[in-house]
Chain A
């Protein structure tokens, strides 16, 4: 069974930085588009960013452009999200998700990691 395990969440002050990681197993990581999707407490799902198979193509939601960077290391079967200049409104559970295309066809999800931005 496909496994995606996120880590790196925690409490950070506004303006701070955090790096999330997602380790994949039981599938050929380098063949898939990967995304980060977040969910603020009590709210709906919001797509954050995606990256193609070799990292040459990346897309972001407008609210994180210039602050967040998605990347991957296929040799380590890992996906990352570097989050800088964090805002209170970035508080959410962050999920990594595997897709077959650039679109939101997320056949597999991790369990999520909570990021709390607060002073």
Chain B
């Protein structure tokens, strides 16, 4: 059972906009920044969004992040086949004094 809760799966058709939610609590998302990772099959994770809504250089602006209260969201617009991957949210938890990840969301492009 992950501290941060994500839907196990999501899907969309090419060109569509999809969102992935990440629900936490008062000791993690409410008071710390949220980061998002993309993991393609058989590869290491890649940072997609940091500090709630910042994109590292090289990440397309189709990807965006937001946070409100104890929840965060990752939005992907103009969905492409290469976006098919697992997506994870992560944040620091002050009560656990450690980093926590969501359980991951498997995105399928139909």
Contacts and interface: CB of A to CB of B under 8 A. Distances in A.
Interface of A: 35, 37, 44-47, 50, 59-62, 95, 102-107, 109-112
A35 to B, nearest CB: 7
Given A45-B37, A45-B88, A59-B97, A105 B51 contact: yes
Interface string B23-62: 0000000001101010100001111001100001000000
Contact of B98 (A47, A105, A106, A110): A47
Given A44-B104, A47-B90, A112 B44 contact: yes
Given A50-B99, A59-B97, A107 B92 contact: no
Nearest to A47: B99
B67 to A, nearest CB: 14
Given A105-B50, A112-B44, A44 B92 contact: no
Contacts of B56: 107
Contacts of B76: none
B60 to A, nearest CB: 17
A110 B33 contact: no
A45 B39 CA distance: 10
Q: Which 8 A-B pairs have the closest CB atoms?
A: A47-B99, A104-B90, A104-B99, A103-B92, A109-B44, A44-B104, A45-B101, A105-B50
Nearest to A61: B98
B2 interface: yes
A107 B56 CA distance: 8
Nearest to B6: A44
A105 B34 CA distance: 8
Interface in B66-110: 86, 88, 90-92, 96-104
A107 B50 contact: yes
Contacts of A59: 97-98
10 contacts: A44-B88, A47-B99, A50-B99, A95-B45, A103-B33, A105-B51, A107-B47, A107-B50, A109-B44, A109-B45
